[in-house]
Structure 1
Amino acid sequence: MEKKLPTIKEIAKRLNISISTVSRALHDHHSIGLRTKLAVKKLAAELNYEPNQTAIFFKQRKTFTIGVILPNLREEFFSSAINGIEKTALDNNYIVLTSQSHDDLEREKNIVESMKKHRVDGILASISKNTTRIDHFEQLKNYDIPVVFFDRVPDVPDVHSVSCNLYHSSVEAVDFLVKKGHKRIAYIQGPSTLNIKNERLNGYYDALAKNSIKADDALVVSTDLSTDGNTGALDKLLALKKRPTAVILFNDYVALDVIHHARQRKLAINKDISFVSYANIPFMHYLETPPVASVEQFPYEQGARATELLFKLLDPNAKQGLPPYENIVLKSELIIH
């Protein structure tokens, strides 16, 4: 027969005291004397008693679990963000349930539904490249499950978010390339559905104007972030009658494909063509010819700050001092390689 787990009721019966007294003794309540506390804890240890977490969760209306939804853990950017999230969650006695959307909207919706059913206390999310509406996140308000978006933030006003100022870094990137003598500067942007694409693009155009360089829309091409999309975007630029001498790339993963493809096209990296990218992933420094610069977006800090904000939303007292929707924006930094 399956052995029954010991309960508070059994401890109370053996010690001839009330169930409430046992509960208070196990929680070191001030109303319980030292002798009773010691007797209860001694018997609990002998019986290998463990608290019924389901009952505790039901009583406190918390599971002490937060859900995290992100595009892909294979990307070091998101792995670093998870480190910041887990450290902050652990400091607050929470555990983290992580799921990957793999940039698939339907998968993202299914994850949200699953996390809702598992009653996570809150959710941190970096949306997929195909997410244009956030109805599946909005419906969580009906279940008092707060959501904080980070890095890939939806282009809507009424959300809590943590992100990096990529407009600022786009301006810095163009200024840097102009000082290097470049006038034909192209930009390979990400999918049009990503709000962050607009911020980078606006910075790119404004920086060209600032440096008295006429914008050429032929120098702006898109990628769906796939290898074929990345290499195809470079091919479009190289097919121009007046090729660019420098290209700003959506992120370091695009840079890996583009640099490899440029080599196959017999171009000397940082001589025939130079690259600047975003993310500043550490392993890029080990490339023989990395981008001349990359934008640091502080993924660990984004993850940690987003988690801190989520815990404020979960704390009724702290929540009262927050604005209706808080948008934390970190300053990015152009790192010269």
Structure 2
Amino acid sequence: MDNKLPTVKEIARRLNVSVSTVSRALSDHPRIGLRTKTKVQELAKEMNYEPNAKAIFFKQRKSFIVGVILPYIREEFFSEAISGIEAAAMEHEYTILFGQSYDNPEREKQVVDTMKKQRVDGLIISLSKQTNKYEHLQALDKYDIPVVYFDRVPAIENVHKVYCDLYQGTTEMVNWLFNRGYRRVAFINGPEKLQASKERLKGYLEGVTRQKLKIDMQMVETTDLSKESTHQAMKKLLSLKNRPHAIVTFNDYVHMDAVQYAEQHNVQINKDIAFVSYANLPITSYTAFPPLASIEQYPYGQGKKAMELMIRILQEKSAGTTVPDTHHTEKVMPTLVMHHPVAR
């Protein structure tokens, strides 16, 4: 029994035509007559012929593969994002090649290098929390590999990026808290190198300023996103002479660690101190103390937009319509979601 995959040569032999005729018929070339084209395509279907991906790559200079690098797939935010990326990729008959940086810049560089060697058509990346130099990504330009950043984007303008407007969302959240009587609002921010942390801090300071209150930087702490670092931030906030009435946490994972520490130190959650957060991940609904409110960042939508932007860039490149030095920026507007909107 012949288990070999059918080839263009086999189709050509059975129809007594040239290999080039079969190749052109399969690619719907206009110079091939309808009768011949129909015969070739019907026989190819009958034989379960599948195009050779490598051959298509060498002919079209395309792999139809887009690389995707995320910090951690285990985080629900990024697993939702990659689902959006994959959905858009499949709609356009692209495959994704996935890698994790584990929030390590050196690991990120290694994965980028692997993607380059695999000759991906483009790269979508959410930066590691410590990445503040981008030479390893900018170097892909000479290989004609476009890069689209999403969520964790660099603080530079001349790149393609998709991200959530966290400045606006944070300002709205602080305003929401003040309107409900929480006058001392503290903030546990993320790693300082992240542009997302800078946007959050900017929004927090703007929100407090709009209340015509003096900024108290004792109310601002940072975490490297580890449980130990978040607990240390909480220790400092709870040791203040005037404890905060509410705490804004960097994301839902930081929220859960912060709440854990507070509960261990006899704080009545969302009574003595209210907690609000970012991301609005479904996992928080299974915890004893979900945030009073969350900023929905739409990870699935961000991922889908990032891939759709990549497809547009690749299509413009293939059509030769790319405008030099033109870069696309797309903002996803957040939504403040109230879970237990209590009044004080």
Q: Could you say if the C-alpha distance between residues 33 and 315 of structure 1 is closer, same or farther in structure 2, counting changes exceeding 3 Å?
A: closer
Matched residue, 1:77: 77
Give the counterpart letter for 2:203 in structure 1.
G
Matched residue, 1:166: 166
Report percent identity of matched pairs: 51
Once the two structures are TM-superposed, the CA of residue 184 in structure 1 deviates from its matched residue by 1.4
Once the two structures are TM-superposed, the CA of residue 260 in structure 1 deviates from its matched residue by 1.4
Structure 1: 4+ residue segments shifted above 6 A: none
Q: Could you say if the C-alpha distance between residues 3 and 332 of structure 1 is closer, same or farther in structure 2, counting changes exceeding 3 Å?
A: closer
Matched residue, 1:332: 334
Matched residue, 1:219: 219
Give the counterpart letter for 1:330 in structure 2.
V
Once the two structures are TM-superposed, the CA of residue 244 in structure 1 deviates from its matched residue by 0.9
Counterpart contact for 1:12–1:22, Cα < 8 Å: yes
1:116-165 deviations in Å (ceiling 9; x for gaps) = 00000001110000101011100000000000100000111211101111
1:91 aligned to 2:77? no
Matched residue, 1:240: 240
Matched residue, 1:16: 16
Matched residue, 2:231: 231
Q: Which consecutive residues of structure 1, in runs of 5 or more, have no partner in the other structure? A: none
Once the two structures are TM-superposed, the CA of residue 29 in structure 1 deviates from its matched residue by 4.0
Q: Could you say if the C-alpha distance between residues 27 and 244 of structure 1 is closer, same or farther in structure 2, counting changes exceeding 3 Å?
A: same
Once the two structures are TM-superposed, the CA of residue 111 in structure 1 deviates from its matched residue by 0.5
Matched residue, 2:111: 111
RMSD: 2.0
Counterpart contact for 1:189–1:223, Cα < 8 Å: yes
Structure 1 Cα separation of the partners of residues 73 and 104 of structure 2: 14
1:215-263 deviations in Å (ceiling 9; x for gaps) = 1111111100001111111111111121111111000010011111111
Once the two structures are TM-superposed, the CA of residue 24 in structure 1 deviates from its matched residue by 2.5
Q: Please state whether the residue corresponding to 1:188 is helix, strand or coil.
A: strand
TM norm structure 2: 0.92
TM norm structure 1: 0.94
Matched residue, 1:141: 141
Q: Please state whether the residue corresponding to 1:335 is helix, strand or coil.
A: strand
Q: Please state whether the residue corresponding to 2:36 is helix, strand or coil.
A: helix
Moved more, 24-33 or 208-217: 24-33
Q: Please state whether the residue corresponding to 2:262 is helix, strand or coil.
A: helix
Once the two structures are TM-superposed, the CA of residue 287 in structure 1 deviates from its matched residue by 2.4
Q: Please state whether the residue corresponding to 1:69 is helix, strand or coil.
A: strand
Give the counterpart letter for 1:328 in structure 2.
E
Structure 2 Cα separation of the partners of residues 46 and 297 of structure 1: 48
Once the two structures are TM-superposed, the CA of residue 44 in structure 1 deviates from its matched residue by 4.2
- How many residues are matched? 336
